[in-house]
Every structure is written in C-alpha cells, then in structure tokens.
C-alpha cells in the first residue's frame, strides 16, 4: 500500500491505480485539497494524476485499508507469540492474538451477512471464504502457517478435542458481536471439522435467529402462495411436503409455518438434525446418527402430538410411518430434495409408497428456491437490468435474496396424477390453467421482468430454466 490508513485520513487521498510511472490518486475535494504538493514530494519518482472522490466512496477505501492493517498487525503478533511459545500459540493466557484474529474474521462475516465461514488449507495458503446469499466468496488469503493456531483457537472455543486430527468433530459456541444495525448482540456458531489429505477443513455456520426465524410474509412469496401456505397450516391433519435443494430456504419456510401453528395451542414436535435454533413452545428432538430415525418417530407418536415436523425423510419405513400418522389425525411436515412439486410424488412412488396411501394423506406440496436480488447498483441496458457491483454488494451485483415457491394443493386431478391416470405434462397444464405463472420458472421470469433478479441468477438456481 502506497498510503497507510493514517495517511489516507490525513491527506484525504486514496491511491486508486499504480503504473510504472504514474500514480492515480483520488482526492476528497480535489480542487481545494491542500495536500497536493506534499503528495508530489512524497512520490517524487511518479507523475501524479488527481481525480475527485466522494466522501462515501473514500470511507469504503479507508475501511478496507484499516481492515488490511488490522489483519497484518494480528498476523505479526501471532508470529511473535508462536516464537515465544511454540506449542500453545499463546492460547492459554486469556485472549490471545489468534483469538482476536478469529473474532475479527467472524465479525467481518456477520457484517457481510455471511451464513458460513470456510477455512481451507492447502500447502501454501489458507483461504477464508464466506457464503453470502448462497454463493461462496473468497475474503482472505493468508499464509498457511496461520491455519494451525487458528484451528486450535476455534476448537478451543467450540470445546472440541484439540489433539484429534483424524476424526470429524462438531461443536458450537456463542459470541457477542456487532450486528448490521451497529448494535452488539449474541450470535451462535456451529463448527464442523473434517480431516483432509491436505490437513483439515473447518466450516463455521453462523446461526442467526433473526435471519432464519422470519415470518412467512417477509420471505417474498406472492400473495396467492402465501394464502395457500396459510391454508395448509390451518389443516387439522395431513401430509405437507416441502421440497427443494439444500440452501433453498426450506427450513426458513418450515419455521415460518411452525410460527403460525404455535398460535393454535397445539402439541408440536420437530425432529431435527441437528437442532440449530431452540424455539419456545415447540418440542425439538435432535436426531443423532446412532439412533434409528424410525424408532425416534415411533416414540414421538406416543407423545400425543398434533403436529410433527420431520425434516428430511430418508428411508421407506419412516416415510410409511409418517404417512400413516398423517391420515390418523396428525399434521405432518416433511422435506424432500426434488426439483419441483410434482417430482416429489414420483419420488414417493419410487420409494415404494403405494399410490392410495399418498392420495389418502397428502394435503399439499411446496417447491421452493431462493434467488439473489440485484443490488441497487444495477444498470438498465437495452431494457434489461444487469448486475454491476459496488462496495455494498461486495462487487457481486447482488444483495439479499427472495423466495419463489410453487404450491400444489390436493385435488381430484392430483389424485389422478398420483394414480398414473394422467401424465406430469397433463397435470402441469391443469395447474397452469388454474394459476397464472404457476411454475418456478414462470415466477422467476416475472422477477426478471421487474428487475428484481436477472437471467444468470435464475439459470444458476432454477437449473431447468432455459435462460442465459
């Protein structure tokens, strides 16, 4: 860096670009800035070109420089501490520099709205990547030596075994950090470690109740779909399937529905793997790998529940039990990984469930996706909105996400489809004639037309859509 943060602040100057002979410097109040001559003296071997910069842009550059310096200072301190104490990385004496580095990275992750922090190690480097709005972004690339002390510090926080390097481990911890609105509050973190040929991979999930436990209205569903989902939540019994790939917001929708159900004075039991958020008035069961899903479900049914939320159903025995529960008076929610709503019927049949069982129990299916929204910095070119990129969106062009969902309620036609009397194509035609923009692709197209998202994002998320 040609200017450190202190100098930047003093001169009101940012070095934007540097070539062999020339420095491009952006100045606050370029016309009246009194430091031009000082800067010329400072960089005598260069020709200086001055441009103007706005205060908001200047502050972003300043913040970036300060972050780099903090990181650099921490790394130097850690190196010194390691030299002093080659094994313990200074971790035993209160808050060490390694811990400060971990806090610094988690604080950045929270401020940048990340859902996960990935720490990956290869021979030369350690990469730190954030998942923001569902997409991985590389944030820091550090020298590889820092991985070991960082890994030890994180394991210590999460009460994991420091010496275990051959087996995967998981744990959690809580920290007070500054949230996006500038206020300090508690955050929970779930840590997972995986031994690799090259060393180890550590992923820290940021469990943010404020983000996951949102009312359904805040997810971006259309009014019609919202009404359909609310209808499903008011049913006395039946099976409701929520489908979509990992990261499509299924659990957020599930929690949103449970929130509505909570008001109805019902006994609600959820089976979760693992339980990420503790919820009031809901009985949450943590599924562990050691216990058979189906036997847990049997025990749950003996608890006289009104509503059961199952998460992913993996085997036929559990599925049959869930379906049985649904037509013997329980409202059962289960999630599946399928492309669209109708595919989940095909999946159930493939798993060996008989068609008449499905028709008797199934109340509805939701299929959903999350699309990244174009950031406010978007540009309109030839009547098309395209992503541009600014500091707010990390130069990705996208900021925040919106959910799209297709909802299929049980009907005579659906029964015919389940029994194989009509094809998927015919069923789709029926659904499309009853509801405008029924499919996920059609809903995505509406969002493209309104400039909320773009074709590339739709192509990334709704794979079978023919865009881009």
The contact set with Zn ion (CB under 5 A) reads 375, 377, 390, 392-393
Helix (H, G, I), strand (E, B) or coil at 418: helix
10: its two tokens: 């003093």
For 425, counting Cβ atoms within 10 Å of its Cβ (0-12 exposed, 13-18 middle, 19+ buried), the class is: exposed
Between residues 27 and 132, which has the closer beta carbon with respect to Zn ion? 132
Query: 199-207 and 398-409: which strand pairing?
Result: unpaired
Between residues 10 and 395, which has the closer beta carbon with respect to Zn ion? 395
Helix (H, G, I), strand (E, B) or coil at 321: helix
Question: To which H or E segment does residue 127 belong?
Answer: strand 125-132
Between residues 133 and 225, which has the closer beta carbon with respect to Zn ion? 133
d(CA 240, CA 236): 12
Q: Residue 146 carries which DSSP code?
A: G
Residues in the chain, how many? 468
3-state helix, strand, coil in the chain (%, to 5): 40, 30, 35
Smallest distance, Zn ion to C-beta of residue 180, A: 16
Between residues 258 and 402, which has the closer beta carbon with respect to Zn ion? 402
Smallest distance, Zn ion to C-beta of residue 269, A: 43
Between residues 392 and 463, which has the closer beta carbon with respect to Zn ion? 392
Q: Contact, 403 vs 221, CB < 8 A? A: yes
Smallest distance, Zn ion to C-beta of residue 114, A: 16
Smallest distance, Zn ion to C-beta of residue 64, A: 15
239: its two tokens: 């099976």
d(CA 229, CA 234): 9
Long-range contacts of 89-97 (CB under 8 A, 24+ apart): 89/148, 89/149, 89/152, 89/153, 91/149, 91/152, 91/153, 91/156, 96/153
Smallest distance, Zn ion to C-beta of residue 330, A: 46
User: From residue 389, how far is each of 13, 202, 377, 403 by CA, in Å?
Assistant: 23, 29, 6, 22
Between residues 76 and 379, which has the closer beta carbon with respect to Zn ion? 379
d(CA 99, CA 150): 8
Smallest distance, Zn ion to C-beta of residue 375, A: 3
Helix (H, G, I), strand (E, B) or coil at 48: strand
Between residues 132 and 440, which has the closer beta carbon with respect to Zn ion? 132
Residue nearest to Zn ion (CB): 375
393: its two tokens: 């969106």
Between residues 126 and 393, which has the closer beta carbon with respect to Zn ion? 393
Q: Contact, 318 vs 300, CB < 8 A? A: no
Smallest distance, Zn ion to C-beta of residue 396, A: 8
Smallest distance, Zn ion to C-beta of residue 106, A: 24
Between residues 58 and 357, which has the closer beta carbon with respect to Zn ion? 58
Smallest distance, Zn ion to C-beta of residue 402, A: 16
Smallest distance, Zn ion to C-beta of residue 391, A: 7
Beta strands in 316-458 (DSSP E): 331-336, 362-374, 379-381, 384-386, 398-409
Between residues 60 and 260, which has the closer beta carbon with respect to Zn ion? 60
453: its two tokens: 């998202």
Which conformational region is residue 173 in: left (phi greater than 0), alpha (psi within -120 to 50 degrees), or beta? beta
Smallest distance, Zn ion to C-beta of residue 111, A: 16
Between residues 133 and 208, which has the closer beta carbon with respect to Zn ion? 133
């Amino acid at each position: 860096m040609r200017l450190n943060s202190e100098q930047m602040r003093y001169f009101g100057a940012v070095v934007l670009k540097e070539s062999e002979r020339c420095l491009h410097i952006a100045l606050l109040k370029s016309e009246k800035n009194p430091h031009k001559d000082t800067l010329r003296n400072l960089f005598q071997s260069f020709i200086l070109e001055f441009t103007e910069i706005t205060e908001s842009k200047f502050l972003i550059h300043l913040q970036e420089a300060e972050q780099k310096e903090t990181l650099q200072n921490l790394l130097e301190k850690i190196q010194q501490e390691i030299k002093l104490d080659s094994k313990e990385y200074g971790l035993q004496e209160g808050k060490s520099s390694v811990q400060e580095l971990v806090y610094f990275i988690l604080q950045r992750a929270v401020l940048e709205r990340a859902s996960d922090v990935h720490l990956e190690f290869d021979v030369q480097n350690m990469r730190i990547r954030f998942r923001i709005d569902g997409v991985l972004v590389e944030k820091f690339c550090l020298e590889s030596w820092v991985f070991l002390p960082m890994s030890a510090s994180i394991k210590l926080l999460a009460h994991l075994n420091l010496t275990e390097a051959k087996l995967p481990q998981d744990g959690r911890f809580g920290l007070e950090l500054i949230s996006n609105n500038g206020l300090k509050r508690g955050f929970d973190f779930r840590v997972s470690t995986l031994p690799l040929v090259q060393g180890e991979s550590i992923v820290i999930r940021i469990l943010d109740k404020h983000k996951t436990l949102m009312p359904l209205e805040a997810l971006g569903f259309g009014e019609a779909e919202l009404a359909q989902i609310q209808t499903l939540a008011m049913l006395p019994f039946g099976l409701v399937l929520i489908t979509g790939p990992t990261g499509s917001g299924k659990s957020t929708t599930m929690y949103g529905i449970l929130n509505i159900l909570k008001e109805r004075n019902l006994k609600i039991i959820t089976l979760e793997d693992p339980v990420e958020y503790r919820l009031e008035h809901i009985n949450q069961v943590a599924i562990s790998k050691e216990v058979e899903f189906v036997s847990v479900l049997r025990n749950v049914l003996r608890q006289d529940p009104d509503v059961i939320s199952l998460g992913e159903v993996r085997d036929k025995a559990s599925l049959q039990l869930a379906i049985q529960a649904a037509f013997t008076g329980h409202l059962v929610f289960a999630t599946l990984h399928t492309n669209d709503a109708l595919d989940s019927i095909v999946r159930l049949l493939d798993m060996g469930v008989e068609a008449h069982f499905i028709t008797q129990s199934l109340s509805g299916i939701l299929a959903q996706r999350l699309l990244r929204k174009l950031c406010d910095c978007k540009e309109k070119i030839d009547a098309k909105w395209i992503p541009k990129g600014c500091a707010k969106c990390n130069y990705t062009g996208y900021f925040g996400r919106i959910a799209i969902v297709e909802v299929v309620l049980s009907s005579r036609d659906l029964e015919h489809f389940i029994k194989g009397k009509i094809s998927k194509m015919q069923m789709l035609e029926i659904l499309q004639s009853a509801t405008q923009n029924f499919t996920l692709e059609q809903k995505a197209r509406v969002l493209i037309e309104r400039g909320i998202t773009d074709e590339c994002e739709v192509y990334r998320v709704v794979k079978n859509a023919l865009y881009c």
